[in-house]
Amino acid sequence: MNLIKLSGIALSVALATHSAQAFDQTSQDDTGMIIDTSYPDSALEMSEDMGIALGSDVEAGEAEGNKFDLLDLAHDFFNQHVASGATTLAFTVDDVDFEFTTRIEYKYGLLHLYGTNTDGNILRLIRGDKNGWFGDVSNGTESFSIIDTYSLGGSAWFIHAYKVPNVGDILVNGNLPVPATKDGSTNLDVGYTTTPYMEYIYGNKSIRASILWLHYQTQDILDNSGVDYYLNPLFIERQDSRFLSEKDKEEVSNQQLVHGREYMFGDALGAENLRDYIKDFGVDYVSAITPGGGFTCGIRRNEYKLDDLGGPTFVYKEEKDRAEIVYGTILGGMRHQCRNRHIARHFFFHNFAQVNRSYYENHPLLPANKRTDYGGKSDYAYGSKCNGQATVMNLNFNQESLPIPVLSSPNVSYKGQSCGDERHDNARAVTESLPSMANNGVIPTQSADVSFKSSVFLALEGTSHAGVTLVRDGDLSESASVEVAFTSVESEFSALENVDFKAKFVRAEFAPGESETSVDVRIIDNDQYRENADIQAELFFAKRLNIKTNKAQVIIQDNDSAKPGSFSFKTRTLNVNETDQTASIKIIRSGGEGGQTINYAFVDGTAKSGSHYNAVNGQVYFAEGEVEQTIEVELLANDYQNVEVSQFQVMIETDVSGDIKTMDVIIADDEVATGSVALATDTIDVDYYASQATITLTRDDASAGEIQVHYKTVDGTAVAGTHFVEGFGTVTFAAGEVEKNIHIKKLNVTEATEQTQFTVVMASPQLSGTKIVTVNLMTEPERESDSEGGSLGWLAISALALTGLRRKIS
């Protein structure tokens, strides 16, 4: 199976620098709130470490003023997998191989891609806006995350701040962790809020995907630690102008509103309105995702109030007043090291349990008379390490000891080693604290059923919005609400987001006494004909309501020409030479009326984008009367021959008729290399005193062309870094060259009493015969004693030394 490399050197060629997109200094969203897009400045700057972490050719600071479409290959790869309907997936990230059996689920309005294999590896990805993906992939040794990073403009791989374990690596009381369930575990009812600015920057689906990613990982930690609590999400809400009074709009600075700080801490009426709204759900705990801009990553809030210096006060109420408390965490959304790395989870658990006593007693920033007022009561709330890896609350780690998703506990083990003891037991501290937190709020009674009034709603493309009606049946005396998600799913009839409609999550509100209410979705009037375009409407996060029927369809009736005609590639196959510089791909229109946009996409075969050709998915437009359009694809020539031909495909993606909607582009190699390459021997014995192993390759006919041979060392009983220096690379035979040597450096091993070996694996279409060389590292020969050998013994030693010297020279 071919592996797709998703980062590192191979991806540096996929970097496409676009001219800066000049944002208006202010923009108005659909709630009427004015968003200052010039603030905060930090949101528009490139993080210093991102270019390096991705192995790209972009240096820190080089991207200032520009927006990057980074690693389009990564999210296009996953999108193509989803669209194909395939159930197996294989790829590499920085030379780490992954292979999974996959399945797709839709949860909370978003597509989830899960992968498993027989080794217990992990794949969990969530798709947001603009093809942005969030999630994790791990083989138990190496872990990576894919996140949507605004400063870089697209999805990007980062080395995970967690070491995600394989299934079976973590045991609780000797057994596999048991996932908490809504019906079988104690519920901790949680809610999430974000700001209009965050949605403006990331998109409403991507910010939701990011929140769900954080939510799932927090649940993983509880499950892996044997803490039987289910995080039950009650809402994902936006802090917007619904909650602001006219006085707030006049007096509260736009900067405060952008940050969300006024909502979480402020004394303005809008802040009180939001807190009352949140409490009405019966939520126990709420997390706010904000733009950052000076915030710490997380903070515990029991009472929303500012002190004289403008910072949050730490006021802990009595147990009897806990129903009035809303626990919360603020997460800086623009900072990938906060929102998207382990620190966010770290602060979640600061909210879930009080820290150890000594933390407060020795806190240098607290007045002496306050160091016992902040609740540090336990002497066992300490993080730990197990099998060399840090637990969640242990910040003392490096790249080799990254945290695993587990709390310290003597009942938990990682790869056979305990993760705690009597002093290191954060799982106990959390278990003791969560009961009081889980009683903070009381979910209101579900006193009525809610459903769509119809299973199908019709919308005319020429109208700007389509209405959807909901009905409730039962007790109507109180207000109630439910979220309606307007999204698309993977099917041939699905409406396209940002082409046919705008994806949206909106709350439908029932006032007291109301049995019906309506919400709408924005319809885009485009010039592309589609006979059917279906939007999926789905219900989530009901308050005082039981969801009876949760899905309906909105069918867009197209107002474009009912006769678009048919669209086909001119030929099924296009043959080109790599030196042609461009491949001209023609699409032909037959019949039809009016204008029509045709979307097309490229799919790698043996020819790889960035190596053999340069192309990005796009569209062509046929005006009235136009019958032919051309797509120009840049071909990348090289100076060597590794295959006779390479191939990629172009597909028409628009839902129109056509005889030829997939074309094969075959690239012929212009270099005709003569002859073949062979190894001089398949076994090499390396003397103990030699400094390197030399592998010789010969070419039988070097009259024309260039041949490349790739090689890599593979450990055996001899191990790279101990017995020899790991080697990999490419040997190139130019025309006329008949012999090449590969040198693998040998390391000195004292008291090498046993012979060891490693192998060197070769790869090239022109390599004949054996492709593997076994390298034997010989032991030190026994020396004769002076008494027995006299001067002859010294001569023998000298001869051996000269032999070693000659080998070094050769």
pLDDT in tens, 204-223: 898 898 889 889 989 999 99
Strand partners of residue 417: 414
Range with the largest mean pLDDT of 32-36, 50-54, 319-323, 527-531: 527-531
pLDDT exceeds 50 at position 268: yes
The whole-number pLDDT of residue 509 equals 96
Q: Is 70 exposed, middle or buried (0-12, 13-18, 19+ CB in 10 A)?
A: buried
pLDDT exceeds 80 at position 327: no
The whole-number pLDDT of residue 43 equals 23
Q: One-letter amino acid identity for 446?
A: Q
pLDDT exceeds 60 at position 315: no
Burial of 724-745, coded b for 16+ CB within 10 Å and e otherwise, reads beebeeebebeeeeeebebebe
The whole-number pLDDT of residue 54 equals 24
State yes or no: cis peptide before 444, omega within 30 of 0. Answer: no
The whole-number pLDDT of residue 235 equals 93
pLDDT exceeds 90 at position 262: no
Confidence of residue 644 (pLDDT cuts 50, 70, 90): low
* Chain centroid offset of residue 238 CA: 23
pLDDT exceeds 60 at position 784: no
The whole-number pLDDT of residue 292 equals 53
Cα–Cα distance for residue pair 81/74, rounded to 1 Å: 11
Q: What is the mean pLDDT of residues 757-778?
A: 88
Residue 66 neighbours by CB distance under 10 Å: 14
pLDDT exceeds 80 at position 776: yes
Q: What is the mean pLDDT of residues 578-600?
A: 86
pLDDT exceeds 60 at position 34: no
The whole-number pLDDT of residue 244 equals 82
Residue count of the chain, please give it. 810
- The answer to whether residues 604 and 558 touch, using CB atoms and an 8 Å cutoff, is no
The whole-number pLDDT of residue 97 equals 82
Confidence of residue 792 (pLDDT cuts 50, 70, 90): very low
Cα–Cα distance for residue pair 121/108, rounded to 1 Å: 25
Say whether 242 sits in a helix, a strand or coil.
helix
Least confident residue range of 352-361, 370-379, 608-617, 716-725: 370-379
Q: Nearest to residue 136, comparing CAs of 345, 438, 388?
A: 345
Q: One-letter amino acid identity for 23?
A: F
Q: One-letter amino acid identity for 270?
A: G
- The answer to whether residues 717 and 766 touch, using CB atoms and an 8 Å cutoff, is no
The whole-number pLDDT of residue 124 equals 94
Q: What is the mean pLDDT of residues 605-628?
A: 86
Q: What is the mean pLDDT of residues 229-254?
A: 84
Instruction: Count CA atoms within 13 Å of residue 72 on its CB side.
Output: 18
| Residue 382 phi, psi (nearest 5) | -125, 145
More confident residue, 31 or 190: 190
List the strands of the sheet with 456-460, edge to edge. Answer: 456-460, 551-557, 534-543, 480-487, 504-510
pLDDT exceeds 70 at position 583: yes
The whole-number pLDDT of residue 223 equals 97
| Residue 265 phi, psi (nearest 5) | -120, -20
**Per-residue pLDDT tens over the stretch 676-685:** 899 999 999 9
Confidence of residue 491 (pLDDT cuts 50, 70, 90): confident
How much of the chain exceeds pLDDT 90, in percent?
29
SS3 content of the chain, % helix, strand, coil (to 5): 20, 35, 45
pLDDT exceeds 90 at position 108: yes
pLDDT exceeds 70 at position 179: yes
pLDDT exceeds 60 at position 339: no
How much of the chain exceeds pLDDT 70, in percent?
70
Least confident residue range of 147-151, 214-218, 540-544: 147-151
The whole-number pLDDT of residue 321 equals 37
pLDDT exceeds 60 at position 89: yes
**Per-residue pLDDT tens over the stretch 425-482:** 999 988 887 887 777 778 999 999 999 999 999 888 878 889 999 999 999 999 999 9
pLDDT exceeds 80 at position 56: no
Residue whose entry in the numeric block shows the structure tokens 């909105």:
554
pLDDT exceeds 80 at position 511: yes
pLDDT exceeds 70 at position 545: yes
More confident residue, 73 or 701: 701
More confident residue, 192 or 26: 192
- The alpha-helical segments, DSSP class H, found in 59-193 are 72-84
pLDDT exceeds 80 at position 807: no
Say whether 807 sits in a helix, a strand or coil.
helix
Least confident residue range of 98-107, 566-575, 773-782: 773-782
Q: Nearest to residue 121, comparing CAs of 148, 81, 89, 76?
A: 89
